[in-house]
Amino acid sequence: MRIKSPFNITIAIVAVVSLSNLGEAMKPERKSSSVSVSKNSNSKNTNSNNTNSNNADQWEITPEREAAALKFAELHHPELVQLLDALREINPKQFQKAVEEIFRVSERLARSKSRSPERYDLELKAWKLTSRLNLLVASLPMTSDYEAAMQDIKKAYTRKLEIQVKLLEMEEVAARKRLERIQESISRSKSDQDENIEKQLQRIRKMYPPEKTEKQAKQ
């Protein structure tokens, strides 16, 4: 399907470009503080520029990556492919940006799948919901039934938040398991402290026995 009217073209651009940072869509916001030191500012800026350059090269869109991104969109959000086709014709630069973001998300999800299929399933659903929400909100000005459209948006947001809670619950379980392992390590270290110290001292005595060190000292 081709999007021909200027208004629909604008919607296509808004909806597709808003794909930026979809990989972070389901993560809670975190505040961070930074301290700058004027003495090292120049070197930091240089390192930052080098990092940005490397990241740009990392995500450079090749024909193979473009095909992979479009295939990902086709599998998980077919409507998006139609908008991308329109965007390719009217704004190639923004098309490349959108493809880059989709490819980045697909790569992150692939890594997630190899680590945790359960988490991958939730993150994929989160991406699909976020992508659908972008289109619903961008299409709102041209809807014939505003309240019905708002209900669709509400349902999508509700489902998105439900998935966010499930992802956070998964993080909580993982954090608890890590904490349990740390607490076990602390407990073992405390209970075996004397034994561990003695083992270390025995190793040192074997490496440097008293008779050997005394002999060397006399020499």
Q: Cα(72)–Cα(60) distance, rounded to whole angstroms?
A: 17
| pLDDT for res 58 | 60
Lowest mean pLDDT among 63-67, 112-116, 135-139: 135-139
> What is the percentage of the chain residues whose pLDDT exceeds 90?
30
| pLDDT for res 153 | 93
| pLDDT for res 111 | 92
Contact between 3 and 86 (Cβ < 8 Å): yes
In degrees to the nearest 10, what's the CA dihedral of 4, 5, 8, 9? 60
The 10s digit of each residue's pLDDT in 25-75 is: 444 444 444 444 444 545 555 555 555 545 545 657 788 998 999 999 899
| pLDDT for res 46 | 53
Question: Per-residue pLDDT averaged across 72-90, rounded?
Answer: 86
Q: Where are the domains of the chain?
A: 6-25+51-181
